[in-house]
Structure formats: C-alpha cells, structure tokens
Structure 1
Amino acid sequence: MYLQHLQLHQFRNYAGQSVEFAAPKTILVGANAQGKSNLLEAVELLSTLKSHRTSRDRDLVQEGSAAAQITAALQRDSGPLDLTLTLRANGRRTLSVNSETVRRHLDFLGHINMVQFSSLDLDLVRGGPGTRRNWLDTVLIQLEPVYAYLWQQYQQVLKQRNAFLKQRRAHPERPPDAAQLPLWDQQLASMGARVIQRRYRMLKRLAPLAQKWHHTISGQQEQLVLAYAPNITHDPEQPDHLYGEFLAQIEARAGAEYHQGITLTGPHRDEVDLLINETPARQYGSQGQQRTLVLALKLAELQLIEEIIGEPPLLLLDDVLAELDLNRQNQLLAAIQERFQTLITTTHLGAFEAKWLDSAQVLTVEKGQIQL
C-alpha cells in the first residue's frame, strides 16, 4: 500500500494544498500549530472516517467555508485507487471511491489501512477505560470494516434504552410502557454480544504480538499482560452462551439501573487490562515503562494489520519521537525500515540520523502551506 497523492481543500488551516509523496518516508517539519498534525488527521479520516481530535465535522471545515474536501490517490496490490471525502459544516458527508459516490460507510472503509502513534497515545495507559475502548475499536475497524456498523447499531440501541430508563426515573407517576424494556434488552444483548466477540477475538491475536515486542524493547526485563476485561462475565470460549449471560446480567443490575437511570451492562463499559510484571501499568508504571508499553502496542498493530490485510499499513507518527528516548527511537525506526510508508511530524530534524534524512522526503509546513 502506498499513498501517492493527497489534496486538501478548506480543511483545517489548509485553504488548498496538494502533496506528492515521493519517498517511503516523509518528514513534515515545522513549528507547532502550523498544520503538520492536520495533514495526518486527513489521512486518519480517509482510513477510519473518524478523527481522534474531534467528533464534529464543523471543526474540520475551515472557518468561513461551507465544506472541506480530502482527496487521495494510492496504489494497492489490487491496483490504483482514488478516494474523496467531503465534509460539511452543517450537513452530511459525501464519500466517493474511484469517482463513484458510495452511500454506506462500509463501502469506503478498509481502502486505507494505517496505524497512528502520537503523544496522545500515552493516554492508552494513563487514561480511563474509554480511551482503551476507542483504541480497540479503531484497530477493529481497520481489520473488519463491518465492525463500524455493528458498533453504531449498538450505540443507537444504547441511546434509546438510556432514554427509556431516564424517562422512567424522571416520571415515576406516569412511566413509559414497561413492555418496551424487554425489547431494548434483547436488542442490546444481541448487538452487544457481537461487539464483545469481535473485541475478544482481535485482542487474542494482538496480545502475543504486543508481549513479544514489549519483551524485546524492555531488554527482556519485563513481561506484559494484555487482557480483555468485558463488562459481561462469561466464558469467551463458549460464545453461544454470551447472549443468555448478557440478559441475565441485565436482570441482575435492574435495580441499580432503575435508581441511576442509565444502562450499566454492556461493552460500552468494557476495560482492557494492561499489566507490567503483574502490576497495573496505569497505577504503578514509570513514564519509561508506559512509553515502552504504548510503543509495543503500536508495533503489534502494524504487524497484525499486515498479517490480516496482506499489505503493510501506513504509519503516522505525530511528534512522537520527542516522547521516546534513544533506545526506543532506535527500536521503532529499526522496526519500520523500508516496509512501511511513514509520515512523521517533528519540530526539528535533530532526532533523525543522517541516513534517515538522506532517504526521506522532507517537507516544511508553515501556516497551512507545504514546501519542499
């Protein structure tokens, strides 16, 4: 997979910009707040239709404009491909593949596979469970585009069930029709079980890869445990029982849900356990240990996506080298080599060895303009 061309129009601080990627490694250098991360964000949107920086399209459209557009040309083993994403400040998105408009997100997802690593990813260890769930779901969308649909359907059912619970709590004198709740329970369990099964299956494949990378980067001094901790207690090796277990635990928490007015059961409350030498990394890991853990996760992502998709994904490194010491930088750069097309942002070139600079395309970013 090779990203050949990217064009931005009224996107973030880019009024109009065209970029040709002429080398496997592209280094975007410039001061902060000039637009380096915005370019990587555009690639992320083409890959996952999500941004880790905002959930609102109007934040992506340049101020004073009605719409923004991202266009990319790439080469895959299956042939050339063109993608266009149009974002509107007050309206629906438009998606097109090879100049043909597609209505379903499923028909757009999966064309660009990427792994993004930024300083914000340290929140995978330091942050709350929601951060780790979002990471899990982003990887899954890369591997199974249909997962985006499943998760969206689950979220819709969850929203409607929560609205029912809140109405019942707010108006006990005239509660909504009680017959509705079992229907929401069944839909929640049906969609939620499919989400849980996919999360479990993916982490089962990712965990040994991350453990191997972590063992290597730590100099064989530390052991990583990466484990899925679903909100539904069940035997993951018996998925046929999951739906029944889901309904049983909804019933067991019915009293608490009645008093709190929210859904307490389901994958929206899952956790991913990260342990270093049997100690929770979030609570006790040093900054160095946390950086090692996140680097191991990202290298495992690269490896897993390449194994499953059959092509190396793009790697987006957003000002991350400054967060890594020399040993971890060398581990990362050695793992990348020439196998992965890599886009790197940095405020200075001092972190790169001469051989890297000689083989890389270096672009300067200043006030939404990119120059060679």
Structure 2
Amino acid sequence: MYLRELHLTRFRNYQNCLIEFETQKTILLGNNAQGKSNLLEAVELLATLKSHRTSKDQDLVFQKAEVGQIKAIVKRLYSETELTLTLRQKGRRTVAVNHESLRRQIDFLGRLNAVEFSSLDLDLVRGSPEKRRHWIDALLIQIEPVYAYILQEYNKVLRQRNALLKTIRKSLDEGEVNSEESTWEQLALWDSQLAANGSRVMRRRARVMARLAPIAQQWHRKISKETEQLNIEYAPNVNWLEDNPQVVQQAILDRIKLRKVAEENLGTTVVGPHRDEVEFTINETPARSYGSSGQQRTLVLALKLAELELIETVVGEPPLLLLDDVLAELDLDRQNQLLSAIADRFQTLITTTHLSSFDQQWVKSSQILTIDNGTINKK
C-alpha cells in the first residue's frame, strides 16, 4: 500500500498542509518541536484511530480551533481510497471513506496499515504490563479490525463488574455481610459475560503471539549475529490447555471462584485479560530487569520488523513504516540492519534532526521535506 497524499487541516501545529509523497522513502527533516512527530501521529491515527501520545481529541486540534481534520489518499493493489478523520474540541469524532460518512468507526479500520517505531517503544520492554497489552491489542486491530469491537465489549463488561464490586465492598465495609440476593445474582451474570468476552480477547492474543514470536526470534538472531536467543512468552492471567471458547470461559470462571474473596475485599476485578503479561527473555534472562540498553533496543527493533512482516503476510500488502527519530537511538550496526530491511519494500516516513545518520544512497533515493513550525517545504 502507498500513502499518496496527506492533508492536515488545523491538526496539532498544522494550520493547512498538503503533502504529496513522491517516493517510497520520505525523510522529514527539522529541529525538535517543529511538527515532525505530529505528522507521523496523523498517519498513525488513520491506521489505528488511536495516538500513542494522547487519548484526548482536544489535544489534536490546532490551538483554539473547533474542528481539525486529517485526510489521506491511499493507493492499494486494486483500489485508491480517500480517508477522512474529523476531530472536534467538543463532540464526537467522525470518519468517512470516499466522502461517505461511516456510522461505525470500526468500519474505518484496516483501510491503512502502519507500524510506528519511536524511542518511546523501549517502554515495551522496560514499562508496565499495560504497555505490552496495548502493543498486542494495537497489532491485532490492524490485522483483525473486528478485534477493536471485541476489546471494547470486554472493557464495557469490566467497568460494569468493577462498579458492582465496589458496591459490594462498600456494603462489607459497612458491616452488611448479607447483601441482597439480587446483588450476587447480578455479579454471577457479569461473571459469565466477563468469561465470554475475556475468552475472545485471550484466545486472539495467544494466536497472534504464536505467529509473531518466531518471526521476531528470526530477526533477533540476525541483528545480534546469532549471539543471543530471544524468547517471547504470552502469559495470560488465566491458564488453559485448549484454544476452545468453552474451555477458556470455564477456566476464567474457575479462576474467578478462587479469587472471589480477594475481589470482594479489593472492590475490583483481578481475573481476566486486563491482567495479562508478555514476557521477554534474552538468553534465558528477563529482558526487562537485566537486559542492557543495547539488548533492549535490539529486542524492540526485532519486534517492529516482525510486526511489519506479519501484517504484510495477513493483509497481503506491505504496511507503512513510521520511524520517529529512531536512528539517533540505534548504533551504526543496528541502523544498517534496519535500513537494509526496509530497502524499497515498505513506504517509510522517517523523522530526523540531521541527515548525517543516513547513507548517501539512501538520501539520494528519498524525498526530503523540511519542517519548520508546522510549515513543510521540499529540500
């Protein structure tokens, strides 16, 4: 797939900016805080409807403007599509495909696929389990857009169940040991829904990790020159032996019974995919605790290259690659591994503060755009 055109209107620090991409590789050159990352963020939003930098649409709209918009023309193997995402300071965002508004945002997903790699991605290794869960979920949404709906439904159930558990805890704190029977019946209903929706989430996470892990291991061996062995383990909050809806649901329900007292005392749900983890080990040593900075960068690079390959395999076209000032974070050897892997296989948008990091052949074959306070010019 190929991003042919990107039009930003009152988005972040861009008042009105139209970019036509002319080559497979585009270098976005400029000092810090000029808007380079904002441009990549716009592409990320079109691909996932999420930003890794903010969860508030108000942050995305230019200064005091009421409405901001991201518009793109995406060329795929058999079609060309115009995508429009409209953001508002107040009110709900809207999406459109070829000027036709979509009632469900989920129908917008999958029109553009992109993998972003930034210095913040070291949090995949160093950060909390929530960072790794978010990473799995973002990947799943790209290769199976319906997963966005599945995850949304699970989170709805989780919020409702947590609200009820808080009510139960309050009753226990006030000495009302024998709460109304209807309360416990209601909790049993939420238990059942949590198990059903949680099963859908967990089974998909397990499947995608089973596909991604061997690809990442292969890249990791190549980058580390066969000196290190990466192991990736999906560690669900609930264990099961068979990828079967009923089996997984029952495993969740059994675990809920075991943790019943803890949940009542804490007033929150402690069983389910919102407590899942992904464990990375290098040469059988936990990468999060003991991996060096270089090892952690190698691991993240291997994961990103594996994402690219997996998405290409599933959707049948190479996704876009968004590189946010990562060359400065990588040593020369890792830079060369990354640039060699990209070649002309993936359309790549890469931000940098200077061109000296790039091989001259790479520079000559790239479109270079300079960015200065939301204004873009060809170099």
- 1:28 aligned residue: 28
- 2:321 aligned residue: 315
Structure 1: distance between partners of 2:171 and 2:55? 32
Structure 2: distance between partners of 1:21 and 1:198? 35
Kindly indicate whether the alpha-carbon contact (under 8 Å) linking 2:235 and 2:277 is maintained by their aligned counterparts in 1.
yes
- 2:223 aligned residue: 217
The alpha-carbon distance between structure 1 residues 333 and 236, as it changes in their structure 2 partners (threshold 3 A), is farther
Provide, for residues 160-190 of structure 1, a one-character-per-residue CA deviation record: whole Å limited to 9, x for no partner.
Answer: 1101111221233565622110011011100
Structure 2: distance between partners of 1:90 and 1:269? 33
Identity over aligned pairs, percent: 60
- 1:116 aligned residue: 116
Describe how 1:73-152 pairs up with structure 2 within 5 A: 73-152=73-152
- 1:343 aligned residue: 349
Does residue 251 of the first structure (1) align with residue 235 of the second (2)? no
Q: Which runs of 5+ in 2 are unaligned?
A: none
Structure 1: distance between partners of 2:250 and 2:88? 43
Structure 1: distance between partners of 2:294 and 2:71? 38
Does residue 200 of the first structure (1) align with residue 206 of the second (2)? yes
Structure 2: distance between partners of 1:228 and 1:306? 22
SS at match of 1:179: helix
Provide, for residues 198-232 of structure 1, a one-character-per-residue CA deviation record: whole Å limited to 9, x for no partner.
Answer: 00000000000000000010010000001100001
SS at match of 1:370: strand
Residue 238 of structure 1: how far off its partner (Å):
4.9
Provide, for residues 106-132 of structure 1, a one-character-per-residue CA deviation record: whole Å limited to 9, x for no partner.
Answer: 210000001100000011010010000
Residue 15 of structure 1: how far off its partner (Å):
0.8
Kindly indicate whether the alpha-carbon contact (under 8 Å) linking 2:166 and 2:267 is maintained by their aligned counterparts in 1.
yes
Residue 78 of structure 1: how far off its partner (Å):
2.1
Residue 236 of structure 1: how far off its partner (Å):
4.3
Provide, for residues 139-164 of structure 1, a one-character-per-residue CA deviation record: whole Å limited to 9, x for no partner.
Answer: 00010000000001100110111011
SS at match of 1:55: coil
Structure 2: distance between partners of 1:351 and 1:329? 9
SS at match of 1:178: helix
Structure 1: distance between partners of 2:246 and 2:233? 21
What residue identity is the alignment partner of 2:282? I
Does residue 230 of the first structure (1) align with residue 236 of the second (2)? yes
Residue 67 of structure 1: how far off its partner (Å):
1.1
- 2:169 aligned residue: 169
Residue 235 of structure 1: how far off its partner (Å):
1.4
SS at match of 1:303: helix
Structure 2: distance between partners of 1:165 and 1:121? 35
Instruction: Give the number of aligned pairs.
Output: 372
- 2:193 aligned residue: 187
What residue identity is the alignment partner of 2:82? D
Residue 292 of structure 1: how far off its partner (Å):
0.4
Structure 2: distance between partners of 1:333 and 1:171? 60
Kindly indicate whether the alpha-carbon contact (under 8 Å) linking 1:200 and 1:236 is maintained by their aligned counterparts in 2.
no
Kindly indicate whether the alpha-carbon contact (under 8 Å) linking 2:94 and 2:105 is maintained by their aligned counterparts in 1.
no
User: TM (normalized to structure 1)?
Assistant: 0.98
Structure 1: distance between partners of 2:245 and 2:239? 12
- 2:71 aligned residue: 71
Q: Which runs of 5+ in 1 are unaligned?
A: none
Residue 240 of structure 1: how far off its partner (Å):
3.7
Residue 134 of structure 1: how far off its partner (Å):
0.5
- 2:157 aligned residue: 157
Structure 2: distance between partners of 1:100 and 1:271? 40
Q: Choose 163-172 or 3-12, whichever is displaced more.
A: 163-172
Structure 1: distance between partners of 2:225 and 2:345? 24
Residue 345 of structure 1: how far off its partner (Å):
0.4
What residue identity is the alignment partner of 1:74? V
What residue identity is the alignment partner of 2:18? S
RMSD of Structure 2 on Structure 1 (CA)? 1.0
Does residue 300 of the first structure (1) align with residue 281 of the second (2)? no
Structure 2: distance between partners of 1:371 and 1:342? 18
SS at match of 2:270: coil
- 1:332 aligned residue: 338
SS at match of 1:81: strand
- 2:375 aligned residue: 369
What residue identity is the alignment partner of 1:324? L
Structure 2: distance between partners of 1:285 and 1:358? 37
SS at match of 2:184: coil
What residue identity is the alignment partner of 2:371? V
Structure 2: distance between partners of 1:228 and 1:365? 41
Kindly indicate whether the alpha-carbon contact (under 8 Å) linking 2:141 and 2:148 is maintained by their aligned counterparts in 1.
yes
What residue identity is the alignment partner of 1:142? Q
What residue identity is the alignment partner of 1:159? R
